[in-house]
Structures are given as C-alpha cells and as structure tokens.
Amino acid sequence: MADAPRFDPRRLRPGELCRILNSTPLGEVTSERVLQRHRNRAGLRIDDGTGKGIDLFRYVAWLAMRRERGAKPEPAVPSGLSGYELHRERARQRNAQLSLSGRDIGELPEVADPARCDRVFLPMMPARAMADRCGYRD
C-alpha cells in the first residue's frame, strides 16, 4: 500500500495549500485567486521564509487575527454560476453594496435664511405645492 503524500505545513506552495484546504469535508473553501489576494494583504507575515511558499500555521493565525479585528469577510461566490453569469452576479452584489453605502447621507441642516429660501424657491414651485405650503386646501 502506498504511503499518503507527505507535506511540510511550514513550507507549502500555493497550489498545495489550496488542494489541502479544499480536500476537507466542507468542500471548496478557497481558490488560488483568494489565496493570492490574502498573500498580498498579509505580506511576509505568512511567508515560509523562502519567499515562494506559505506557512500554514502563520496563515491560519493571520486569518484568525483578521477575523478577531473585525475584517469584513470575503463575499460569498454564488454556487452554480460560472463565466459571464458569475461576473454579472458579482457586479450586481458590488453595485448593491455601493448603493447601500451611498444612502447614508445624514440629517439635513436647518435653513439659515428662510426668507431668502422662499424668495428663491417659491417662484419655481408648482401651483399645487405652493398651495400646500401656503395652507390652501381643496
């Protein structure tokens, strides 16, 4: 019987680390692109010392510290989508997030000079709005 392949968890190539992480009962939990993004963010904190590999223990510690500090999780990839549909779904999620973040504009300040406001805006108001403002009702 052949022995299981051995690996050094302190010196893993990115492809090996992805295969190890994705071979758990959870299924696919990461991709090489996500791992590359994490390597760019973590810098040398997860490096294996050679500049080519990843130290699994340092990587896990870095992920735990990020989570503890409240870093936003990576957006979930919708299952069953690929290619253009996946691209469109990610763009939709990104645009929805931007829309939500742009809605928080706060309270409007009080008008500093109401008489000036009336002089400027009353001539532009439609008749119905002006009647409502002046207190005339049907």
pLDDT tens per residue across span 16-57: 998 988 898 888 888 888 888 899 888 889 998 888 889 999
Q: Is residue 7 part of a domain?
A: no
Largest CA-CA distance found in the chain, in angstroms, rounded: 94
Q: Is residue 31 part of a domain?
A: yes
Q: Is residue 120 part of a domain?
A: no
Number of domains comprising the chain:
1
Secondary structure of residue 12 in the 3-state scheme: strand
Residue-level pLDDT at 128:
61
Domain, as residue range, for 21: 14-99
62 falls in which pLDDT band (50, 70, 90)? very high
Q: Is residue 48 part of a domain?
A: yes
Q: List b or e across 98-114, with b for residues whose CB sees 16 or more CB atoms inside 10 angstroms.
A: eeeeeeeeeeeeeeeee
The rounded distance, in Å, linking the Cα atoms of 47 and 42 is 9
Q: Considering the entire predicted model, what is its pTM?
A: 0.50
Residue-level pLDDT at 81:
72
Backbone angles phi, psi at 45, to 5 degrees: -65, -25
Q: Is residue 108 part of a domain?
A: no
Q: Is residue 45 part of a domain?
A: yes
